[in-house]
Amino acid sequence: MRYLDPKLNQTQERRRWLVATVAGAAAILLRPGLALAAVDPATVPEPKRTKAGRYLMAADVPAFMQTQGGTGKVLFLDLRTRAEAMYVGMATGIDALVPFVEHQELMTDWDAQRGIYRLEPLQDFVPEVNRRLAQKGLSKSDVVVLICRSGDRSSRGANRLADDGYTQVWSVVDGFEGDMGKDGRRSVNGWKNAGLPWSYKLERERMYFPR
């Protein structure tokens, strides 16, 4: 099942997340030659590359977080827009939604190159990440995992955080929805296509609100 049953409560959702984490960790340990589930930087497309060169595939995120001492030792952030989280769903285990860019309030301008309504950089991106980090009792030297739709925004977010002194930021290169296939659909890889738990149900305390 690629998504969570709407009838499941939050406790059941978390239980499924833990099961996926443990199972993923076991799978990684059994795969010979795999070093901490890291992706070879040489295989990452230029738009998804970061200054630090730390990358993960979505399918390996639960196990990677387990190797860091459990999910409590990692800050896991979703960098997509609020609309994406609401209409496309969110990965189970996300600590908070911190958009890297957002649509204009009235969405009046068009981005002809990308064929979408124009997106604007979120000015309080770094301060919001700092707040979420402190809220979890972590420091800039602790592990931070960033996920967006398909890896572009998470790479740019990782660079912004590196400039602010973060030293262990990992970008999920295939994101929540995955890369585009020849059929024009995001069906190649990504969190959803890996069959990892996700849900349309949102928790207010994890969502982004301008401050």
- Work out the angle at residue 73's Cα, subtended by the Cα atoms of residues 1 and 201, and round it to the nearest 5 degrees: 35
115-166 pLDDT tens trace: 888 888 788 999 999 999 999 999 999 999 999 999 999 999 999 999 999 9
Flag whether 115 is in a domain: yes
Provide the number of structural domains found in the chain: 1
Flag whether 78 is in a domain: yes
- Name which of 9, 26, 24 is nearest 203 in CA terms: 9
- For residues 179 and 172, give the distance between their C-alpha atoms in angstroms, rounded to a whole number: 12
The CATH number of the domain holding residue 16 is: 3.40.250.10
71-107 pLDDT tens trace: 678 999 999 999 999 999 999 999 999 999 998 777 8
| Per-residue pLDDT at 34 exceeds 50 | no
In the DSSP assignment, the letter for residue 140 is T
